[in-house]
Amino acid sequence: MKIKGKSSKPAPVAVAPAAAPVAAAPSGPVAPLFRRIDWWTALLAFAVVWVVYYLTLAPQVTLEDSGELTTASYWAGIPHPPGYPFWTIYTWLWTVLVPFKNIAWRVELAEASTAAMACGAIALMVSRGSSMLMESIEELKGMTGKWETAICMVCGVTAGLLMGFGSSMWKESVVINRISLFGVPWLTFVLAFMLRWIYAPHQRRYLYAAMFCFGICWTIHQTLMLAAMGLEIGIAMCNRRLGRDLFFVNSVGFLLGFLALNMGMAPGLANAASMVRVIFFTVGIASIAVCIWLTVQTGNLLTEWKSILCMGLVFAVGLSFYFYEALAGMTNPPMEWGYPRTVDGFFEALSRGQYNKVTPTDIFRDPYHFLIELVMLVQGVADAYSWVYMFFALLPLFFFFKMQRRERAWIGLVASIYPFLGILLSIFLSPTRDRQTADLVKTFFIASHAIVAIMIGYGLALTAAYMATHYKEFRRWGCLARCRCIRECRTGSTANSIIIGSVIGTGTTCSRRRLSVRTAR
């Protein structure tokens, strides 16, 4: 029965607002990160570097550790501590698979080919990463099409060739004097897998592959373990929960080490130099602080323990190549440094017990020597590339806060590794100004030069893209820079001038074409 003046419709019921949907990790297929042009860029850089290295290989055994390392490679033995098992197995395969020329030349070919692959990997990351940076910066989003492709390719090849010919890498890749150089390719593989993971963070398999390669880096040269903190910072910038749990593991390790030190159960740390303990406490306390901050930010803890466990397992698999030393020692090869087949001998080899203990520079009691080390570090980069290229390497940092979160995580990862492979390594090695010591430790910093080469490539790409999108402002300066490059080519500074001139030329040519199109419209 209807009542006059009243509606027969029921009164509306108040409905609580629906909860905001939780962002779920994307599933399904993901578009490939690396484009065809990126692979062609990597192939071109690899081919150029490999051909030059091949033509300049030393014909026979050279100086320093060459005889020892050649013998260890031929017999798959054990060179000087810590034994370098992965290098030994890898180069031994080349002595078996390459059927011509002498053993020393085959080992040199193995190292040269791997170094060329590192240059190709750098070109690959710079080519694709430059495109990602342009897409993430609002002012540069207009760079699309063939001109973006040209800038990415030129800058990628430039970075790869700079690494191959601009640092000590060329000199050390064509002989068998050192092993530290062999770790550079595997560090670049770590970075390539990290870039792929940052592109699609829900695909953890690329992160695990990076950890496996990083474990291999530890078996090649122990100086590369210093890059661990930089990797953790980059992981935290991409995924706070994962980074939080990594720093929690650091904190637990520090607390256990501190407890063992107080109980007299860590004689190695107790007898170490005072600066070693300072670094130990600094890293430990910083890890605790970062872990607490990230815990407050995310509101929970240890939610990513499964991923942390998987990362640790695959890292241990890469590190397990050290057990080869015990197996090889049982066969008593002609080159067997120490007795790693015994438990005591195995840990003596891993800890480099026959060498003097590490005595880092005390930056508080001897700040002048630390300042000299910093000057030597900067001068080494300038000698490897140039002061102009060092400016380009800093340019991506000026665009840092204009980037999207994904690109900031990538640049943060790359930039965070350098202080550990550069400054911290310099503190541990404590080099002096005399020529013999400087030449001896120069090879250990080639890994940090790879980081600089990547940043140089991004700096050149951003410069060319910014010139292309701001042609009127850069027209005069671009023409002056090209004239300066032509003048330097005529006076002798050919290599750097041609490379910088090609990048500037690409940017100005693109700018003119874009301006003419706008005028026509």
pLDDT band for position 4 (50/70/90)? very low
Which tokens belong to 257? 């080490």
Q: pTM here?
A: 0.86
Residues 6+ apart with CB under 8 A from 96: none
36, 358, 370 from 219: Cα distances, Å: 33, 19, 29
- Establish if 518 belongs to a structural domain: no
Q: What is the pLDDT of residue 477?
A: 58
> Residues 315, 444, 384, 50: is their CA dihedral positive or negative?
negative
What's the pLDDT band for 485 if we cut at 50, 70, 90?
A: low
- Report how far residue 385's alpha carbon sits from residue 389's, in angstroms, rounded to the nearest whole number: 6
Residues 188 and 122: beta-carbon distance below 8 Å: yes
Whether residue 25 is predicted with pLDDT greater than 50 in this model: the reply is: no
Q: What are phi and psi of 336, to 5 degrees?
A: -135, 100
Q: Decide if 144 is inside a domain.
A: yes
The mean pLDDT of the chain is: 83
* Residue-range definition of the domain harbouring residue 81: 36-239+304-469
| Nearest CA-CA partner of 249 in 308, 209, 303, 299 | 308
Is residue 510 situated within a structural domain? no
Q: In the 8-state DSSP scheme, what is residue 34?
A: S
Q: What is the pLDDT of residues 78-96, one digit of tens each?
A: 888 888 899 999 999 999 9
Q: How far apart are CA 33 and CA 128, in angstroms?
A: 8
Task: Please indicate, yes or no, if residue 84 is contained in any of the structural domains.
Answer: yes
In a domain, 253, yes or no: no
Q: State how many domains the chain has.
A: 1
Residue whose C-alpha is closest to residue 221's, from 366, 80, 332? 80
pLDDT of 190-233, one tens digit each? 999 999 999 999 999 999 999 999 999 999 988 899 999 999 99
Is 289 among the domain residues? no
By three-state DSSP, how is residue 364 classified? coil
pLDDT digit string, tens, across residues 245-303: 999 999 999 999 999 988 888 888 888 888 989 999 999 999 999 999 999 999 999 99
pLDDT in tens, 104-136: 999 999 999 999 999 999 999 999 999 999 888
Take residue 46 and report the two structure tokens written for it.
């690899």
> Would you say residue 324 lies in a domain?
yes
Residue 283 lies in a domain: no
Task: Using alpha carbons, select from 376, 381, 380, 384 the residue that is nearest to residue 170.
Answer: 384
Q: Count the Cβ atoms, other than its own, within 10 Å of residue 138.
A: 9
Give CA angle at 424 (240, 366), nearest 5°. Answer: 135
CA 483 to chain centre: 35
Amino acid 129: pLDDT: 93
**Beta pairing partners, 78:** 336
Give the C-alpha separation, 323 to 429, whole Å.
Answer: 27
Contact present, 78 and 333 (Cβ < 8 Å):
yes
pLDDT tops 90 at residue 5: no
Cβ of 258: how many Cβ atoms within 10 Å?
Answer: 16
Q: What stretch of H or E contains 442?
A: helix 435-442
Peptide bond into 82 cis (omega under 30): yes
- For the residues 385-413, what does the mean pLDDT come to? 91
Dihedral of CA 399/214/357/449: which sign? negative
Task: Tell me the C-alpha distance between 175 and 105, whole Å.
Answer: 8
| Lowest mean pLDDT, pick from 43-57, 120-134, 336-350, 368-382 | 336-350
For the purposes of burial, counting CB atoms within 10 Å of the CB of 267, is it exposed (0-12), middle (13-18) or buried (19 or more)? Answer: exposed
CB 466 within 8 A of CB 134: no
Q: Are 138 and 130 in contact (CB under 8 A)?
A: no
Residue 356 DSSP label: P
